[in-house]
Structure 1
Amino acid sequence: MASVGKSLLLFLCLVSSIVFVTPDDIPDDWPPKDEKFKYEAEGLYAEDFDLEIGKGLKTFERNLDDVFTCRLSYEIPKGETEEWRVTMSQSPDLTAYSCIIERPGPTNSELNFKQFKMSLIGVNEINYGEAYGEPSVSLPAEEYMVDKRKMEVTSLPGQFKGHVSRLFAVALMHHPHEEL
């Protein structure tokens, strides 16, 4: 009987410590509608951004660790603004960087791009690059190219059909070898 009393007392103490939040307690501006997702940690950076619509080439770029820069140059003549995400990371051994620029979430991009180019700056070689029409389906090889010399994943003029939802590249850093 004593253990039931102790259990009941513990239960009442727990219930009395619970803070109930009513809709009146939540500020009208929460969660903030104008704040975009952004995350930074050592060797990792992610941020949501809006693609600009309108004639002419637009550019978005971000930097990781003052060494690696991922730049997206694109042209979208018309359409509705979409939120996209850039995610950059560095390998633990500091020998590689990756960049993903994509339309996050379950929906594909509805935008009709005229052209795109993802450039990797501060690295020596693109090891792998890919462009996707849908998040998990690569664009046909004739619509884009990976230029390892220029360190770019870019649409091919006259071949690109205007739809892209994700760009991905992995780049290698070459560190000078020391003679023994």
Structure 2
Amino acid sequence: MASVGKSLLLFLCLVSSIVFVTPDDIPDDWPPKDEKFKYEAEGLYAEDFDLEIGKGLKTFERNLDDVFTCRLSYEIPKGETETWRFTLNTAADKSSYSCFAERPGPTNSELNFKQFKMSLIGVNEINYGEAYGEPSVSLPAEEYMVDKRKMEVLSLDGFKGHLSRLLAVARPHSVHEEL
């Protein structure tokens, strides 16, 4: 019975600390429509960007630690603009780098991609690469491949156009020291 009383007291303390915000308290220009999410920290970079729709191949790329670059190339012939998130990070010991390009949030991408390619620059080996049609369901093997020689995750001729997430993990070039 004492634990119920403590739980009730904790619940009441939490409820009393909640700040209620009414629509009148929120500025008309919030959240800023022209500002995208962007976050930088040691070994981490994340940014939201709008996929460009239209003719031809489009490219979006970012760099981390002046060592690792991740480039997303894609073609989307038509559709409505979607915001995607690009995230690069490194292990604490700099033993690996990773790159994610994904539709953030709970909704799947509604776009029909013609092709895609994630290229990794500044690494010498891709340890893992994956492409997802739905956020937690990998594309079938006949729709994409991981090219370890070229350091790429890319669509194949059998790609059906649905993509929600791409990711790759790789080892950086090792520093050679003279003995």
TM bucket (normalised to shorter chain) is: 0.7 to 0.9
Aligned with 1:164: secondary structure?
A: coil
Shift of 1:65: 1.3
Q: Contact 1:113/1:163 (CA < 8 Å) preserved in 2?
A: yes
Aligned position for 1:105: 105
Matched, 1:80 2:80: yes
Q: Structure 1 unaligned runs (5+)? A: 1-18
Structure 2 distance, partners of 1:83, 1:20, is 29
Matched, 1:133 2:111: no
Structure 2 distance, partners of 1:170, 1:20, is 42
Shift of 1:177: 5.3
The TM-score, its normalising length taken from structure 1, stands at: 0.84
Shift of 1:176: 3.9
Aligned position for 2:16: none
Kindly tell me: are residues 161 and 67 of structure 1, through their superposed partners in 2, closer, same or farther at Cα, counting changes over 3 Å?
same
Q: Structure 2 unaligned runs (5+)? A: 1-18
Aligned with 1:87: secondary structure?
A: strand
Aligned position for 1:163: 162
Aligned with 2:163: secondary structure?
A: coil
Shift of 1:26: 3.9
Q: 1:130-157, CA deviations, whole angstroms, 9 ceiling, x for partnerless residues?
A: 0000000000001100001100000002
Shift of 1:118: 0.4
Aligned-partner residue type, residue 153 of structure 1 = V
Aligned with 2:98: secondary structure?
A: strand
Aligned position for 1:67: 67
Aligned position for 1:150: 150
Kindly tell me: are residues 176 and 40 of structure 1, through their superposed partners in 2, closer, same or farther at Cα, counting changes over 3 Å?
closer
Aligned position for 1:11: none
Kindly tell me: are residues 28 and 171 of structure 1, through their superposed partners in 2, closer, same or farther at Cα, counting changes over 3 Å?
same
Aligned with 1:27: secondary structure?
A: coil
Aligned position for 1:8: none
CA RMSD, 1 decimal: 1.8
Q: Contact 2:52/2:58 (CA < 8 Å) preserved in 1?
A: yes
* Number of matched pairs: 161
Q: 1:60-102, CA deviations, whole angstroms, 9 ceiling, x for partnerless residues?
A: 1111111111110000000000010011101111111000100
Answer with 1 or 2: which has the greater Rg: 1
Aligned position for 1:90: 90
The TM-score, its normalising length taken from structure 2, stands at: 0.84
Structure 1 distance, partners of 2:20, 2:129, is 50
Deviation beyond 3 Å, 4+ runs, structure 1: 19-26, 176-180
Aligned-partner residue type, residue 131 of structure 2 = A
Q: Contact 2:74/2:113 (CA < 8 Å) preserved in 1?
A: yes
Aligned with 1:105: secondary structure?
A: coil
Kindly tell me: are residues 156 and 43 of structure 1, through their superposed partners in 2, closer, same or farther at Cα, counting changes over 3 Å?
same
